[in-house]
Structure 1
Amino acid sequence: MEQVLLVTLNGLTLAGVYFLVASGLTLIFGLMRVITLAHGTSFLLGGYLGYVIATATGNWVIGALGGAIAVGFLGLLIYHGLIRRFQNDDMRVALITLGVAIIGTDLMMASFGGLATQVPIEANVRQGVDVPFIGQYPLIRLLVLGIAIVVGVALTLFISRTRFGSRVRAGVDDSQMASATGVNVRVVFTVIFFLGSALAGFAGVVGGTLFPLQPGQDGTYLLYSLVVVIVGGMGSIPGAAVGAVLVGLVSQYTLVLAPTYALVLTFALMVVVLAFRPQGILGRTA
């Protein structure tokens, strides 16, 4: 029983990292219908920038905010400079963002090297705390889960309960009609792309605090983010949360029960969901 609870809690805390990454992709890919293959690169860059800033200042919060904001503005440059004019051409956007991802990965390799680095945080946060029926458990993993919950609730309220969120939904459903009613769709999409990129950068800092940062993670987190978004339903923040929980639990339980097939079974989850509900668990029917 103790091992089951431990694996479950590990899956939920891992799901917190997956959700933070996938929430940004949900905004960009799910709402704007922009296929960005550079999202994993934004994750890794945010982690490295957070590492540099947190190391220089000795403050994790400043590192997290600095990494998120820097990656957000870089995302704006990429969107307006490379993506916006081709936004309705999915193949061209995919190829452009793939090129950005390859260049970004090489630049990070040259700048930060191939060694694993971890974002520094106060030592007491890495200590264990007593969890009922489990025993000692790292406090940092519980904090990651809490951060993911707070971000998820905030994004859900932002999209569903605010005036700007209604403009976002209107611009996604029918951008021409929204423009005719006075909504500046360009500004709306700019804010969404900034927020999605910033969330990827923030997720990189959080993930880089929990696990060491190293080359190759950008592709891994991009794939897991796509699985989470597809399983949960494109454009749905609650759907991304459900997808992240399922992916996190499946990956952790398969690592314990069938480690050889862990990756295969994780992606099999996506196949099963698409077979029975193509729009995702909480996605809307087109």
Structure 2
Amino acid sequence: MTDITLNLFMLQLVTGVALGAVYALLAIGLSLIFGMLTVVNFAHGAFFMMGAFLGVYFLSLTGSFVLGLMIAPLVVGAIGLLAERFLVRPLYGRGIDYPLLLTFGLSYVLIDVARVLFGIEGLPSSTPAALRGAVNLGFGHFPLYRLFLIGATAVVSVGLWLFLEKTRYGLIIRAGSRDSEIVRVLGVDIAKVWFLVFGLGTAIAGLSGVLAAPTRAVNPEMGIPVLAESFVVTVVGGMGSLPGAVVAGLLVGVVFSLTSLFAPEFAELSIFVLMALVLLIRPQGFFGKAGALG
């Protein structure tokens, strides 16, 4: 404890923000699907894992990280579209537990598919050559790629906010999340809206997997712990709240990182303690609405 300097503390703080950026992206996709469809997507971690695998695969195939960053989320989003159309859609209106159980089973199917396609050991991943090295932040050198993670999350978050708040389609999505019957009466095919939202949410999960791949081991089980962490972020921020997902994601990342510095044996536990404290004070989360699951 006495060896911890201000510079080390600041570096660990920025590390937490970078980690929280991945959590925020994951929670954005999860919150988008829940906020619109009221579907608790237990396959979200598996879509994250598929994004990581596809990102590494396309990088090895094309030699371009940018192409992998563009193509992998589209492929994951396409898988999400198929899942919504043929698996999730028939369960709408049957209660929240039906799609929950279905997506829970789907996650294990996707894990086994990854094992068959890429092997149980997974694929080696590395930081793209253009993003290697470190940047001097004044209090120490910080990996360039982790700064890129923070910037990418900011771009996606702002872009999604502009889409939802400033476009006609965003207006339809927001209206449908509040009262789908009214939107249907106005002549909008709400099923198509749900279809596209589920695809967008899973594509964002795939994007977070591509971005996270250079910072962690890429293997079929990598989405399992991430799923638990993304649900912690979603609950802390408020189920269905996109601003809550961003704020809570960054907070959870910082809490985990600083706990790793001061008491590493409690790092995993710290985020669940944070969730418990938030729920005791504000059961609906920071930006959530009471009775969202009702």
TM-score, normalized by length of structure 1? Answer: 0.95
| 2:229 corresponds to 1:229 | no
Decide which of 247, 254, 257 is 1:252's aligned counterpart: 257
Query: Which residue matches 2:3?
Result: none
Residues 1:206 and 2:211 are matched in the alignment:
yes
Match of residue 164, structure 1, among 142, 162, 169: 169
Q: How many residues align?
A: 285
Alignment counterpart, residue 109 of structure 2, candidates 87, 103, 108: 103
Deviation at 1:209, TM superposition (A): 2.1
2:49 aligns with one of 38, 44, 48? 44
Q: Distance in 1 between matches of 2:169 and 2:125?
A: 34
CA distance in structure 2 between the partners assigned to 1:56 and 1:191 by the alignment: 29
Aligned-partner Cα distance in 1 for 2:261–2:127:
29
Contact kept in structure 1, 2:35 and 2:177, CA below 8 Å: no
**Residue aligned with 1:282, SS:** coil
Distance in 1 between residues matched to 2:36 and 2:235, nearest whole Å: 13
- 1:77 matched residue in structure 2: 82
Within the alignment, does 1:272 sit opposite 2:272 as a pair?
Answer: no
Percent sequence identity is 37
Would you say the 8 A contact 1:54–1:120 is kept in 2? Answer: no
Residue of structure 2 in register with 1:281 after alignment? 286
Cα deviation, residue 213, structure 1? 1.1
Closer, same or farther: CA 36–278 of 1 in aligned 2, 3 Å: same
Alignment partner, residue 12 of structure 1:
17
1:231-251 deviation digits (Å, cap 9, x = unpaired): 111222211111001110111
Structure 2: state its 5+ residue gaps.
1-5
The equivalent residue for 1:128 is 134
* Residue type of the alignment partner of 2:136: D
1:155 paired with 2:160, answer: yes
Q: Tell me how far apart the structure 1 counterparts of residues 276 and 166 of structure 2 sit (CA, whole Å).
A: 33
Contact 1:55–1:120 (CA under 8 A) maintained in structure 2: no
- CA RMSD in angstroms comes to 1.4
Q: Deviations over 1:163-204 (max 9, x none)?
A: 111111111111111100122211111111111010011111
- Aligned counterpart, 1:93: 99
Does the CA contact (< 8 Å) of 1:50 and 1:119 recur in 2?
A: no
Q: Work out the CA distance in 2 between the residues paired with 1:70 and 1:96.
A: 21
1:215 to 215, 220, 230: 220
Distance 1:16 1:26 in 2: 15
CA change 1:171–1:124 in 2 (3 A) is closer
* Aligned-residue offset at 1:118: 4.3
Report the alpha carbon displacement of residue 133 of structure 1 after superposing the two structures with TM: 1.4
> For 1:122 and 1:265, how far apart are their aligned partners in 2?
31
SS at match of 1:117: coil
The Cα offsets for residues 116-140 of structure 1, whole Å up to 9 and x where unpaired, read as: 5344553241211211112x21100
Q: Are residue 26 (structure 1) and residue 28 (structure 2) matched?
A: no
Contact kept, 8 Å, 1:60 with 1:121, in 2: the verdict is no
Query: Is 1:137 matched with 2:142?
Result: yes
Structure 2-normalised TM-score?
0.93
What CA distance in whole angstroms lies between the structure 2 residues aligned with 1:116 and 1:72?
Answer: 21
| Residue type at the aligned position of 1:193 | F
